Amino acid sequence: MLTKQLRDLERHGLVRRQFFESVPPRVEYSATELGKSLHSIYKLVCDWAGDKWGDVAKARHRYDRIAERRRPATHTTGLARRIEPTEREDDNRVK
């Protein structure tokens, strides 16, 4: 998942990928100039998340409580009742 996201960011020109042939091999990512131009937007989102984290946590808790009530009750009724055949196949053959 992370690899796919990083490759998407690279494709869009937001990050640069640098591969190092070493043992073990390693890869480093860095922001391109285009990626750096988004810094102020990222900062706003991070600040918003920090300010609203309590509200987000309350909303998640409320959602989880409601979702729990919506789930169908699951319970076991014990072993399934076995249905015995009333006649055997041998008894139905024409003689």
* Residue 1 belongs to domain spanning: 1-35
Query: Domain count of the chain?
Result: 2
Q: Is residue 66 part of a domain?
A: yes
Q: Is residue 85 part of a domain?
A: no
User: Same structural domain for residues 22 and 44?
Assistant: no
Average pLDDT over residues 7-17: 97
Q: Is residue 12 part of a domain?
A: yes
pTM of the model: 0.53
User: Same structural domain for residues 16 and 31?
Assistant: yes
User: Same structural domain for residues 30 and 1?
Assistant: yes
The tens digit of pLDDT for each residue in 66-75 reads 998 887 766 5
Average pLDDT over residues 48-65: 95
Q: Is residue 30 part of a domain?
A: yes
Cα separation, 10 vs 91, whole angstroms: 74
Give the other-Cβ count within 10 Å of 94's Cβ.
3
Cα separation, 31 vs 18, whole angstroms: 11
Q: Is residue 60 part of a domain?
A: yes
Split at pLDDT 50, 70, 90, the class of 86 is low
